[in-house]
DNA sequence: TATTGTTATACTCTATAACTATA
DNA sequence: TATAGTTATAGAGTATAACAATA
């Protein structure tokens, strides 16, 4: 019976934080589906893209840029190494300079293209100025003091 | 040595989806800290708030509104029951009308106040119109077709 | 037949503490 | 002493499949 169907009153729909969480979750699922086509998860794709823009950086620096803890970088880097998408070279005795293999570079380029398609899919209606304004508002959230 | 410090180039910082993810994550951590003061996690608080606005709804309907699967609602509702923040009444033989206990209602009110403080903390600079515009943009993301 | 609540389970993501070897 | 990488582990959050009782 669809008879006594109640249209739910949801005060959370008025909350910017809640809307951001829902919107972000939806976008992540959609991005994950797109990236699955090239066998990458969003975080793996982010690492490749970051590495293409910054050849030779260490895994700790990648973690710093992506807000991933050192400990959690280990299996991520190991997986990309196993798949021969990235390579290591000793920088000093304790750190390694990471770089993309040719295969990894190709995937990084594809991943970046998919990310742009993804953004266009969700925000294609926005003008350049509107897009930049939204970007600035989101960066503003991250600029707020942490305590 | 801070000498050869590289300022990272991060193309993801230009991506709206990435910024939303980072901003949303930061806001969730901050909200969780605030709600910890009244011993609620964000999802628990959301359930109480939703229940205050919709007395008598079932746990499946709450899940529908909050994008939480039926199976995952079970331990959430059980926990709130154990803490006597909500109560059940048989609606029909298979579903229960949920309601807030007096304690639960008090917490729901506090939670909603904390959520408003939280929003103001991150978006207090926005005018009413700017706030509404941002809200609409985020709702627009959720209005996009899922496939 | 479809739905509500439930159990069991698994997978991902994230967080912390501690170790090693190097700087 | 501090840092890079690592190991181990624990806690959330989320996903699926299957079942019983009821509609």
Distance (Å) of CA A139 to CA B12, B57, B86, B88 = 12, 38, 38, 43
Res B4 pLDDT > 60: no
- Check residue A99 and give its pLDDT: 98
Chain A CA closest to residue B30: A146
B20-61: per-residue pLDDT in tens? 999 999 999 999 999 999 999 999 999 999 999 999 999 999
The whole-number pLDDT of residue B146 equals 77
As a whole number, mean pLDDT of residues A24-32 equals: 98
Give how far A65 is from chain B: nearest CA, Å: 8
pLDDT digits (tens, 9 = 90+) for A39-91: 999 999 999 999 999 999 999 999 999 999 999 999 999 999 999 999 999 99
Question: What positions of strand D are covered by protein, i.e. any atom < 7 Å from a CB?
Answer: 3-9, 12-18, 21-23
Neighbours of A46 (CB within 10 A): 25
* pLDDT in the model for residue B1: 38
Does the C-beta of B73 come within 7 A of strand C?
yes
> How is residue A124 annotated by DSSP?
T
Which pTM was predicted? Answer: 0.95
Minimum-distance residue to C9 (CA–C1'): B71
Which residue from B24, B123, B146 is facing A21, i.e. has the nearest CB?
B24
For residue B145, which of A119, A22, A121 has the smallest C-alpha distance? A121
- Residue A96 pairs in a beta bridge with A90
Rg of chain A, C-alpha, whole Å: 19
Residue B102 has what pLDDT? 98
Identify the residues numbered 63 to 92 in chain A whose C-beta atom is closer than 7 Å to any atom of strand C: 68-72, 92
Q: Is the CB of A42 under 7 A from strand C?
A: yes
pLDDT digits (tens, 9 = 90+) for A95-146: 999 999 999 999 999 999 999 999 999 999 999 999 999 999 999 999 998 7
- Judge whether residue A1 has pLDDT over 60: no
Band (B3; pLDDT cuts 50, 70, 90): very low
Q: What is the mean pLDDT of chain B?
A: 95
Q: Do A142 and B26 touch (CB under 8 A)?
A: yes
Q: How far apart are CA A101 and CA A99, in angstroms?
A: 7
Nearest 5 degrees, angle CA B15-CA B19-CA B23? 175
**B90-115: burial string, b at 16+ Cβ within 10 Å, e else:** eeeeeebebbbeeebbebbebbbebb
Q: Per the CB < 8 Å rule, is A144 touching B122?
A: yes
Q: What is the tens place of the pLDDT at every residue in B58-77?
A: 999 999 999 999 999 999 99
- Phi/psi class of residue B84: alpha, beta or left (left: φ > 0; alpha: ψ in -120 to 50)? left
A6 vs A115 pLDDT, higher one: A115
Does residue B122 sit in helix, strand or coil? helix
Which residues in chain B have their CB less than 8 angstroms from residue A10's CB?
50, 53-54, 65
List alpha helices for chain A, DSSP H.
Answer: 16-36, 42-53, 59-66, 70-82, 102-123, 128-143
Q: Which two tokens stand for residue A77?
A: 């880097």
Count the neighbouring beta carbons within 10 Å of the beta carbon of residue B76: 19
């Amino acid at each position: 019976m669809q008879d006594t169907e109640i249209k739910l009153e949801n005060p959370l729909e008025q909350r910017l934080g809640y809307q951001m969480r829902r919107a972000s979750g939806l976008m992540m699922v959609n991005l994950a589906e797109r990236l699955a086509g090239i066998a990458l998860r969003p975080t793996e794709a982010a690492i490749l893209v970051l590495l293409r823009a910054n050849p030779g950086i260490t895994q700790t620096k990648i973690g710093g840029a992506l807000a991933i803890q050192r400990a959690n970088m280990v299996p991520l880097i190991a997986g990309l190494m196993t798949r021969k998408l990235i390579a290591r070279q000793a920088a000093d005795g304790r750190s390694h300079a990471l770089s993309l293999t040719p295969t990894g570079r190709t995937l990084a380029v594809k991943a970046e293209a998919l990310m742009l398609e993804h953004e266009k899919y969700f925000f294609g209606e926005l003008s350049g100025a509107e897009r930049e304004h939204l970007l600035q508002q989101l960066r503003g959230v991250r600029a707020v003091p942490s305590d």
